[in-house]
Structure 1
Amino acid sequence: MSLVRLNIKGISYSQTQNGAYALILNEVSGDRKLPIVIGAFEAQSIAIALEKEIKPPRPLTHDLFKSFADQFEIVVKQVIIHKLVDGVFYSSLICERDKIEEIIDARTSDAIALALRFNAPIFTYKNILDKAGIHLQGEENPTPSQQTNQEEIIEDELLSDDIEISKKDDTYKKLSITELEDLLSQAVQNENYEKAAKIRDEISKR
């Protein structure tokens, strides 16, 4: 089976599933998207890895794993989303130490959070993308491959390719850049990374 490389398109807060987020992976050599529902903690960890300017005062779990791996010279070479069963994606970490490769089972959300920290490529098999890949609204000739819960979330919340990292919040629009930067610093210090991601998104828009 041939592998298809993916990159991260963005993260969207799900208003249809309380506390859930939709992680969007984009086919590098095509226009299909692979939506994956993940939890709040994993979404925050991925958002922090994407937003380089947000620096947690203490290491998150995935940061700790990275430090541990670095200390023992373990490298995550790539992540492969290798199976889809009943809407659940299964992934593997391809790791290497002393030129010896090991394959480690992982939740897809954890695997992607680690892939970002190791700058490791993300792949899936073509048959998985054929089964679960979708075209977002606004693209030419949309041909959804599968009507899933993930697709419903994307269609409800993402009307274009401009995918937000967090849900819209009008509160921050009334504040100045200086006030937003102060709030961002406080949110990071308090380890409220969901709030930090929203503030950072508003600063980026400015």
Structure 2
Amino acid sequence: MSLIRLTIKGISYSQTQSGAYALVLSEMEGTRTLPIIIGAFEAQSIAIALEKEIRPPRPLTHDLFKTFADTFKIEVKQIIIHKLVDGVFFSSLVCERDGAEEVIDARTSDAIALAVRFQAPIFTYENILDKAGIYLKMDEELLDDAQEEELEEEDELEIDFEQESSVSDFSTLSLQELHKQLNEAVTNENYELAAKIRDEISKRS
């Protein structure tokens, strides 16, 4: 069975599960998408790896894995989402060291967080996309029109973190103040706030 390469389409707050996020993958040579529900930590980890402006002061778990692998000359060649059972995706890391290849079982969210760091391609099988298409249609009924347009039009990572009433109105701050708050948020490891400030800075660029 041939492999189909996927790319990360975006991340948005899940409308179906509280406290979870929807990671959306899409075919590189097609129009189908593969929605995967992941936890908040994994969503932040993937987002931080994709963003160039946010640098955690201490390594996250996936950063530590990458450093460990680099130290011992282990390379993640690709990840494969190979099975879907009752809405749960199963994935494998295809690793290589000294010419020897090993396949390691991994949660899909962890596998993708590592794929971004290793710049490794993400693959799945035709039957997975066929099954996931059904789930996608079900999910689309629960998404509002604005979210559907966002997923269709944006190719870059978009993180729609839940708004907090305590967050100030960034539109009143200068760029210098925004950059200062961004640095403080990253230093304090408040990545949700950092992502919101980053979005405000991007709007003004």
- Output the TM-score relative to the length of structure 1: 0.87
Deviation larger for 36-45 or 161-170: 161-170
Identity of aligned residues (%): 70
Q: CA deviation at 1:173?
A: 2.9
Structure 1: runs of 5+ lacking an equivalent: 134-144
1:175 alignment counterpart:
173
After the TM superposition, which of the residue ranges 149-158 and 23-32 deviates more from structure 2?
149-158
Q: Which residue number in structure 1 is paired with residue 182 of structure 2?
A: 184
CA-based RMSD: 2.0
Residues 149/42 of structure 1: CA separation in 2 closer, same or farther (3 Å cut)? farther
Measure how far apart 1:124 and its partner are: 0.5
Which stretch has the larger CA shift, 88-97 or 13-22? 13-22
The equivalent of 2:159 in structure 1 is 165
Taking the TM superposition and a 5 Å limit, the aligned residue runs for 1:116-195 are 116-133=116-133, 145-146=134-135, 150-152=139-141, 154=143, 158-160=147-149, 161-162=152-153, 164-167=158-161, 171-195=169-193
What do residues 89-133 of structure 1 show as CA deviations (whole Å, max 9, x unaligned)? 010000000100000000000000000000000000011011113
Checking the alignment, whether the CA contact within 8 Å between 2:76 and 2:96 is kept in structure 1 is yes
d(CA) in 2 for partners of 1:149, 1:198 = 29
Q: Distance in 2 between matches of 1:172 and 1:16?
A: 29
How far apart are 1:171 and its partner, in Å? 2.7
**Change in 2 beyond 3 A, CA 1:196/1:127:** same
* Structure 2 counterpart of 1:65, one-letter code: F
Hey, what's the Cα distance between the residues in 2 that align with 1:28 and 1:188? 32
The aligned residue for residue 139 of structure 1 is: none
- Provide the secondary structure at the position in 1 that maps to 2:201: helix
User: 2:131 is paired with a residue of what secondary structure?
Assistant: helix
Greater CA deviation, 188-197 or 78-87? 188-197
Paired with 1:154 and 1:52, the residues of 2 have a C-alpha distance of 29
Question: Given that residues 74 and 95 in structure 1 are in contact (C-alpha distance below 8 angstroms), is that contact kept between their aligned partners in structure 2?
Answer: yes
**1:200 corresponds to:** 198
Q: Which runs of 5+ in 2 are unaligned?
A: none
Instruction: State the alpha-carbon separation in 1 of the partners of residues 161 and 146 from structure 2.
Output: 9
In structure 2, give the amino acid aligned to 1:47: A
Cα displacement (A) at 1:167: 3.7
Give the aligned residue type for 1:158: Q
SS of match in other structure, 1:205:
helix
SS in 1 for 2:22: strand
TM-score by length of 2: 0.87
Q: Aligned-pair distance for 1:39? A: 0.4
- Asked if 2 retains the 8 angstrom alpha-carbon contact of 1:93 and 1:104, the reply is yes
SS in 1 for 2:36: strand
Aligned residues: 195
* Distance of 1:105 and 1:153 partners within structure 2: 31
CA distance in 1, matches of 2:125, 2:131: 10
Decide whether aligned partners of structure 1 residues 60 and 150 sit closer, same or farther in structure 2, where only a CA change above 3 A counts. Answer: farther
Q: 1:89–1:153: structure 2 CA closer, same or farther, 3 Å change rule?
A: farther
Aligned to 1:108: 108
